[in-house]
Structure 1
Amino acid sequence: MRIGDGSAARTRETSGEVVVPPSGVGGVPTGSTSNIAHIGASQATADGEVARTQALVRLARIALSRADALVREEAGSMRARDEAAAGLATARAAADAAQVQRRLLGPSVGAMSNQATLWVRVPVFGTDMGEVGRARPASIRPLGDATALPRSARAVQAPPSANATAGTVDLYFALDNRDRAYRVGQRVAVALPLGGTQAGLSVPAAAIVRDIYGGEWVYRRTAPNTYVRQRIEVASVAGGQALLSRGLGRGAEVVTDGAAELFGTEFGTPH
């Protein structure tokens, strides 16, 4: 096939980590570096505090009901009823605070692997933040598996986090995981959307073969039934077409169907 010009939306290839999203506003995502045993112990303590404050609310409500009944029967004081009302308000405030604190700890440890939606944490250099288009989804696929179908992930707001030593800022993307294809802590390849488009030479993605070191090659036709392996550099892949940043000239002919077989014949490796 003779290659020609093409264009594609600008993207930047990087990597990310699958994490558990927080269950409440302001919560912190749970990643592979989190101490799961410590989180589980904190959740158990928080669950107990929620139960305790809810019991206090029930007792305060009963006390207010009794004080109000005594006032209606002219057997109790208004002050006692007001104090009971204040006690109920205090108990409710404590219960609300306990529930908020529990939500900040995220879903239970046992349910972390059963989330229908997971987040992907992507460290981005601070100097590149302005180029990332947050209005467009990122593309996610398993790291090291170039043949896997990418999955779209939308940008989400999360508590600010960064690594001052590496100079990176964390971006988060929500990933549909109802089929349980991804696991917490898994490293993934991420194509971050950038502004604008880029032009270049376009070849079918099926024409590209990769060596064990990740090098990208195509087989260029130099004469009838004669093919030479040519090193290329892929800028982006979308819709089955790869946009090249260098390696081929306009009008070159490359092998599409059978590139893997040529690669296996050259190195003696079956495909």
Structure 2
Amino acid sequence: MHRISFLCVLLLLPACGEKGKTPAAAPAKTEVIAHETELLGLTLTPQAVQRLGIATITVGTGRTGMIRETSGEIVVPNGSGGVPTGSLSNLAQIGAAQATADGEVARTRAQARLARIALDRASQLVAEEAGSVRARDEAAAALATAQAQAHVALEQRRLLGPSVATLGRQSTLWVRASVSGTDVTAISRLAPASVRALGGTDAGQPARPVQAPPSANAAAGTIDLYYAIDNRDHRWRVGQRVAVQLPMGRMQQGLTVPASAVVRDIYGGEWVYAQTAPNHYVRQRVEIASTGTDGVILARGLEPGMRVVTTGAMELFGTEFGVAH
């Protein structure tokens, strides 16, 4: 009898333990959030559309020239084949070398003038039969030597570039763009590049390709390309960092929209505002396949025939998120 009671107690103990145990917490919690298809639609009054300057365009297929955007530096050109002067150059050292070269040019030119006077005197004495032909020939050789020295001094001075004092007054400057060695052959060296200030929203200023002494960075594996840019308005400064759009030698076809139609959020997402009805706009995500000279090529996100906002997209973006413009 006691044995049967003991077995019943053992059977009841696990049941009592399971009854008092607290259930384990779930490892994750899920909740419903808004989907990209449930974005806010913006309906503007005709007065608001006019005030914001909203303009739209119909999406269609097209071709655009491919470009490669990279960074560049404004440098001083050197017309005689020297290395252009950039912001990393030691201007004090260059200025001292230029002063020494200027003095050498003046000295050799003075020697050439003296040698010319000596030759004229020797030639006159020979003509009057008062001097020797040998003295005249020696004077002619001395003149040729002095002229050669003056030419060498002048070329050495040209290699040092414009005077340091005139670096900020150059009417034409060069842009040095570093390109990966694997991409150099894809860059068209016959078409102009486009240069704009970092952070600028303008279309950029054209810059024509120029031939310059070869320069490269072996550690980074890049090769320097040079372009000449007009600086008569003194817009650019030596050492200024700029954005350079280099033309590629090929075209790409697809759905195209102007670059002004694309807005980016803080996470780098790319969006456009599609017009779904008169004065009604919805933000729609797109994926850019490539950027061209006339706009951007889209990989997905839009269909041909849709209308997107080209002017005023940033204003709509601010209106949607409550940022004043």
1:212–1:16 distance in 2 versus 1, CA, 3 Å:
farther
Q: How does 1:129-168 map to 2 (within 5 A)?
A: 129-145=184-200, 147-168=201-222
Aligned pair count reads: 267
TM-score when scaled to structure 2?
0.76
- The one-character-per-residue Cα deviations of 1:112-147 (angstroms, maximum 9, x if unpaired) are 1111111111111111111111111111111221x2
Aligned to 2:302: 249
Aligned to 1:59: 114
* 8 Å CA contact retained: 2:269, 2:285: no
Q: Which has the larger radius of gyration?
A: 2
Q: Distance in 1 between matches of 2:175 and 2:252?
A: 26
Aligned to 2:229: 175
- Note the residue ranges of structure 2 that are not aligned, 5 or more in a row: 1-56
Aligned to 1:16: 72
Q: Distance in 1 between matches of 2:271 and 2:123?
A: 83
* 8 Å CA contact retained: 2:262, 2:270: yes
Q: Distance in 2 between matches of 1:257 and 1:37?
A: 49
* 8 Å CA contact retained: 1:23, 1:107: no
**Could you tell me how far 1:67 is from its partner in structure 2?**
1.4
Correspondence for 1:41 among 96, 101, 104: 96
The one-letter code sitting in structure 2 at the alignment partner of 1:67 is A
Q: How does 1:65-76 map to 2 (within 5 A)?
A: 65-76=120-131
Q: Distance in 2 between matches of 1:214 and 1:37?
A: 43
The one-letter code sitting in structure 1 at the alignment partner of 2:165 is G
- The one-character-per-residue Cα deviations of 1:95-125 (angstroms, maximum 9, x if unpaired) are 0000000011111111111111111111111
Q: Distance in 2 between matches of 1:213 and 1:88?
A: 73
- The one-character-per-residue Cα deviations of 1:250-270 (angstroms, maximum 9, x if unpaired) are 234433343222211233322
Q: Distance in 2 between matches of 1:206 and 1:41?
A: 49
- Note the residue ranges of structure 1 that are not aligned, 5 or more in a row: none
Local SS of the residue matching 2:303: coil
- The one-character-per-residue Cα deviations of 1:2-43 (angstroms, maximum 9, x if unpaired) are 42212101211111111110032x211111111111111110
Aligned to 1:124: 179
Q: Distance in 2 between matches of 1:216 and 1:175?
A: 32
The one-letter code sitting in structure 1 at the alignment partner of 2:68 is R
The one-letter code sitting in structure 1 at the alignment partner of 2:75 is V
1:203 aligns with 2:233: no
Q: Distance in 2 between matches of 1:101 and 1:55?
A: 17
Q: Distance in 1 between matches of 2:242 and 2:321?
A: 29
Local SS of the residue matching 1:182: coil
Q: Distance in 1 between matches of 2:244 and 2:86?
A: 17
Which deviates further from its counterpart, 59-68 or 39-48? 59-68
Q: Distance in 2 between matches of 1:135 and 1:87?
A: 47
The one-letter code sitting in structure 2 at the alignment partner of 1:198 is Q
The one-letter code sitting in structure 1 at the alignment partner of 2:94 is I
1:230 aligns with 2:312: no
* 8 Å CA contact retained: 1:222, 1:228: no
1:211–1:111 distance in 2 versus 1, CA, 3 Å:
farther
Local SS of the residue matching 2:195: strand
Local SS of the residue matching 2:308: coil
Correspondence for 1:98 among 153, 162, 171: 153
* 8 Å CA contact retained: 1:137, 1:193: yes
The one-letter code sitting in structure 2 at the alignment partner of 1:4 is G
Correspondence for 2:82 among 27, 47, 54: 27
Q: Distance in 1 between matches of 2:93 and 2:71?
A: 27
Correspondence for 1:89 among 124, 144, 160: 144
Identity %: 61
